[in-house]
Structure 1
């Protein structure tokens, strides 16, 4: 088969008629498949069902520090939960706050504190900086963009390369004192699945910034979500590097068990320097008496320690891997030869980015919706939901059963080919 761009107009017209016929037949089937969000499926959730019975009336409710978990206290979370999340995040327990179920909440609170009180090294609160800006990697995570937009930041886009942010551009942009931070999903990035190179992490830690309160929001949501546990991507230790360059207060990291145990009923954590934790505590003590320590206990009893976490995550990988491999195989079989798309090939995380011909992403998503397959909105991978190339589409293979996923990808590949043909024909 020729690449579509090499076909004559007569060949393209005939192909369009063929694809439109196939599309009409699919529409007539009345499919209803939803792939809009990267959620664990029922089999993944069942992996954690032992937590329902892991604690009972006979379970000791007093921690190793003598604190009764049934009562008030422990602003930063239980000692055991802080140690567990520290192992997962690669930091000491003393540098960890364990909160409620949502790392997104902890991220929002972090930036809101910066808005109202300023960050640790802020000359003044961020609300007094009317031209404040935040760097956003594209393609990136829509909820990151929404947080900073909600707080009145100008969102400045930075391309995400195969090794991480375009660091030449980042190092130039941070010469502006109004640039207050950067969002990073450094491992198995959402939605491309790439992992930052050692050199990229070092440059982020080492670079000089005009803003003394420049903050790296290090959302390592997928740090233990390997599709291939025997050969995981490795990520450099940004805290060690930041300390090496005298910027240890620059990084605030986040993680959670949202896709490890139960989304919405897990535990989340923030990791930062001692000075940052002291700054956070000064305000956090007025906000809460502490998160759910009984839930922390359940998670510690179930997950235990990092080796057991790795065993648990290998079970997740065994369920997820066939789905990712199915999607990638179908892309190879149906999109490679026509030359109508490019895609990432992640080794972990929850997403694949598919780049369709420029100007076609919205049309592909619309065609899929009209055929009964709901995808993440085109543009969601960019600030203000505006993808200048109208090309990036986030694929989330995790939630549908594999049979439904195959059906959805047949529809998706057909819609990509149809949109590409119609663009070439000027339809």
Structure 2
């Protein structure tokens, strides 16, 4: 253990480094996983693929008119193999998968599901939330009246034993999961863990895996894991309707003008389509036609995503290099090294994540609030910080990472000095 005088010396060094960084008067933001302008530029041609009266799909659908709640079949055929679902069980909607999530959960609360027509909202309703996890999932579910129950994650995915214990309560209706490059840790669920979730006993007959493939296409490296066919795993386990799959092109083309997707077992897709038909007369098929013509086929999507990786992989590398150089020689923090997705997770000493975020804000580096990765914004260890390096320029990411390191070092030595 370091002596008190040594700790004081290192605290003084950390304080001086922090003050030097803060004196630069920077304004940097690594809070949310937004695509950078250069990524949005990749899809500029999307805006010119439909013009004049050239508005018909290959199968003859007039995209200007009502109808087609299921979305354009040709576009669904492009994304079906990428998402490992049959095209007939894939729906295409508007720009936000969050909307599909809201609709599916609301329909279940009001009308029950394809498996059990008893409305979830008639009694207590709870959802399992792997942590660290996706803040938008937690916020949405809380707004709909769900009680959120945290379960831990490890390198293979959610803790199935913990999930199974909680699912003995029939009020537990499902579980959130980001299976590929989880937000915020970057973990990809293993085949073994996915099978366990598909087979897991649950008291609720319609226990549901809310399977959000938000980052399924966002590989940073040429060698990458493949998407799992969760629908087949669930069907083999005797739960063909257990998984509701969500995805979108929000970080693939234009975030404000993408296409969202919903998939499930055959009965679930029928249930979703029937409910959608009561609240909408069809999605924006012109925008879906734009995407169809822009990508042409599945290979076109994969080629496009390699261009994304060329832009953002260096930013991830810059953060990881800064963390390694600035913190690697001390036992002050740990961090993930994801192979895809949009985030890096930094784990500090217990009790100082909020202090790091405060120091960073005062030094001109805006971070996601501490606790955002947990239900109700409460991280019991106050140690998790989500880093989103995609939106700023590479130079800005490098500076922000340097500032983050300075903040972690200062907050860590403050804690060590306080005993």
TM-score by length of 2: 0.98
Which residue matches 1:84? Answer: 78
Please give the residue correspondences for 1:245-324 in structure 2 after superposition, counting only pairs within 5 Å.
Answer: 245-324=237-316
Alignment partner of 1:343 is 2:338: no
Partner of residue 129 from structure 2, selected from 128, 136, 159: 136
Please give the residue correspondences for 1:159-178 in structure 2 after superposition, counting only pairs within 5 Å.
Answer: 159-178=152-171
Conserved? CA contact 2:89–2:263, under 8 Å: yes
Separation in 1 of the partners of 2:233 and 2:266? 16
TM-score by length of 1: 0.96
| SS of residue paired to 2:58 | coil
Per the TM alignment, residue 123 of structure 1 is displaced from its structure 2 partner at its CA by 5.0
Separation in 1 of the partners of 2:344 and 2:145? 30
Separation in 1 of the partners of 2:140 and 2:112? 17
| SS of residue paired to 1:318 | helix
Tell me the alpha carbon deviations over residues 404-426 of structure 1, each in whole angstroms, 9 at most, x when there is no partner.
11111111001001100000111
Alignment partner of 1:17 is 2:12: yes
Size of the aligned set, in residue pairs, is 419
Conserved? CA contact 2:129–2:151, under 8 Å: yes
Gaps of 5+ in 2: none
| SS of residue paired to 1:137 | strand
Please give the residue correspondences for 1:190-269 in structure 2 after superposition, counting only pairs within 5 Å.
Answer: 190-229=183-222, 231-269=223-261
Tell me the alpha carbon deviations over residues 98-125 of structure 1, each in whole angstroms, 9 at most, x when there is no partner.
1100001100111011111112223521
Separation in 2 of the partners of 1:121 and 1:92? 20
Partner of residue 405 from structure 2, selected from 384, 400, 413: 413
| More displaced stretch, 33-42 vs 166-175 | 166-175
| SS of residue paired to 2:372 | coil
Partner of residue 114 from structure 1, selected from 87, 108, 113: 108
Tell me the alpha carbon deviations over residues 385-404 of structure 1, each in whole angstroms, 9 at most, x when there is no partner.
00000001001011110111
Alignment partner of 1:30 is 2:45: no
Per the TM alignment, residue 288 of structure 1 is displaced from its structure 2 partner at its CA by 0.3
Per the TM alignment, residue 18 of structure 1 is displaced from its structure 2 partner at its CA by 2.1
Per the TM alignment, residue 85 of structure 1 is displaced from its structure 2 partner at its CA by 2.5
| More displaced stretch, 305-314 vs 64-73 | 64-73
Which residue matches 1:3? Answer: none
Gaps of 5+ in 1: 1-5
Partner of residue 358 from structure 1, selected from 350, 353, 358: 350
Conserved? CA contact 1:379–1:385, under 8 Å: yes
Separation in 2 of the partners of 1:198 and 1:14? 49
